[in-house]
């Protein structure tokens, strides 16, 4: 199996697992504030480790799968747009994040916050759902905190999986 197909298979498995865990397990935890967003951590981690092109592809695929996974609510297409944009922007930082171990965690926190803001903004732009910005501010702190905590587990696991498929992949 070529590296491309191996990486594609790994991406598909990670995306499906993240969306299922997000909708079935994490959304039912009842933690205060926002729901921990495993999908955003995956998209940001993939963008950081593989670059902007693969970040867009994984972000779009994760958003599309999230939009069709029950209980899908909201306007179809907002999640693929937002997650593809986040994957692209974090992929642009791929080379800059390799030196420090704190930089990927900071990028994950910013990615989680920007995902929240982008989703609310695009939803309001298309008239899908009215968010109050006070709701968003209330969820922003926990969204960033949960994303960083998830990243402590997800980023090393993602890095190890990618190194298994392609030994020259970057480490976290």
98-106: long-range contacts (C-beta < 8 A, 24 or more apart)?
Answer: 98/170, 101/172, 104/45, 104/48, 104/151, 104/155, 104/172, 105/148, 105/151, 105/152, 105/155
Q: Flag whether 109 is in a domain.
A: yes
pLDDT band at residue 78 using 50, 70 and 90 as cut-offs: very high
Q: Flag whether 170 is in a domain.
A: no
The tens digit of pLDDT for each residue in 108-129 reads: 999 999 999 899 889 888 887 7
Measured in whole angstroms, the distance separating CA 14 from the mean position of its chain's CA atoms is 11
Q: What is the pLDDT of residue 14?
A: 94
Whether the pTM exceeds 0.85: the reply is yes
* Structural domain boundaries, residue 152: 3-165
Q: Flag whether 58 is in a domain.
A: yes
Q: Flag whether 171 is in a domain.
A: no
State the total domains in the chain: 1
Q: Flag whether 124 is in a domain.
A: yes
Q: Flag whether 128 is in a domain.
A: yes
Structure tokens at 53: 């092109």
The tens digit of pLDDT for each residue in 33-44 reads: 788 899 999 999
pLDDT band at residue 71 using 50, 70 and 90 as cut-offs: confident
| CATH number of the domain residue 103 falls in | 1.10.1760.20
The tens digit of pLDDT for each residue in 11-22 reads: 999 999 999 999
């Amino acid at each position: 199996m070529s590296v491309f197909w191996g990486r594609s298979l790994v991406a598909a498995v990670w995306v499906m697992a993240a969306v299922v865990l997000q909708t079935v397990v994490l959304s039912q935890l009842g933690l205060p504030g926002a729901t921990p967003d495993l999908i955003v951590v995956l998209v940001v981690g993939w963008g950081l480790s593989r670059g902007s092109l693969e970040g867009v592809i994984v972000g779009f695929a994760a958003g599309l799968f999230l939009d069709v996974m029950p209980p899908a609510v909201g306007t179809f297409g907002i999640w693929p747009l937002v997650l593809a944009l986040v994957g692209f922007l974090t992929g642009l930082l791929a080379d800059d994040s390799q030196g420090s171990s704190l930089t990927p965690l900071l990028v994950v926190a910013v990615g989680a916050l920007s995902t929240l803001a982008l989703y609310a903004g695009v939803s309001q732009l298309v008239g899908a759902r009215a968010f109050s910005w006070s709701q968003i501010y209330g969820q922003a702190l926990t969204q960033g905190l949960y994303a960083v905590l998830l990243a402590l587990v997800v980023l090393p696991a993602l890095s190890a999986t990618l190194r298994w498929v392609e030994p020259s992949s970057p480490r976290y």
